[in-house]
A and B are shown apart, each in its own frame.
Chain A
């Protein structure tokens, strides 16, 4: 098995900025999701081109994680339609989304502390010679994945409980990347990382982007960090996409301003100066 087993099947690969050339990986139409009295997603319309990297930004509570969980099959939307590679798909479960080539790195990483690295890397995808897990194969693959990605973890037998935040994050990302995914959803992939570890993940995203066969949605609170690797930025506010711009037509400063404007308009913030400072800090890399 090669590291990136899914060779492009959709014709010539897209350039880094030509995301829309070969059709759509994901189209979301009018999706809404409520939890009791809380409306998490009001009316989301979103498009992810094949091979495109979409940065999804927005304030805490804007619904970013909920949207990711809808697309990963974890939550079912109350209304609206989702098309995967042009086909309408009622995502029934994580398994179902996975079968359609959608892999997710959740904010909480979904790692099992008391299991070793190699089992976490294969969680729910274990090779089996019934009834037993093929542990030797899993260990070999895990070692190769980590070496390929330049992640420094001494033993694949270590339990993830004993690893640093960055190492844990790297394992969660590696798990999604090496699963033959066509669509990758990354919820705060840089959250627990130091600058050096974050660079590994960013390099990996760049590498996948250049290959052009994996489409990605990246959520980042700290959007200065991911700006460079994105083709397009969508701003999610109060459960709706309010801004959709190619990164070539915007800047980190403009995004800071867009997010800050929300505070002024909605009057949520008592002290705008403080809020602006907070937002700028959040955007800084």
Chain B
């Protein structure tokens, strides 16, 4: 006869996404599609319409032994509070107000997100306030678009629901080197052929 001290060794299965209610899912799916269409368009200025006056943004780079020099260039922009010793830098890497956030997003390199890689988790919904994360892969291009690098990311938003859109308050980006599985699966599905139904994006967002 033994003692019942055996500890569990089985992990619960990973689920793809969690959207909460169907109403929120509809809003989020639409928002995510539009947001990254603008983000990848080359002109992120239209975001001025959807960020809150007191919006904030910061990013961290999760460095690892396998990180490439390409990724390591982000060490200087990473607001990693475990590493930063200079309080002024800590403040400087925190982008505050709509203008400052949108200007910063606009200065980030050109990207193409693999929307098929997205996993969305709605982890807070209180009244019209929601918070959710997006995990996936994007391609970062050099400024003349001659080369690109795959980046794994986790993005977190806190936003006010204003159907049919959202007003973003907190925005955080974590980036890291993709895993082998992510590299293999990235952009595996063919890019969607231009559909006859127009995609509604904020005006001017698709201009070069």
Partners in one complex: no
Interface residues of A (CB under 8 A from B): none
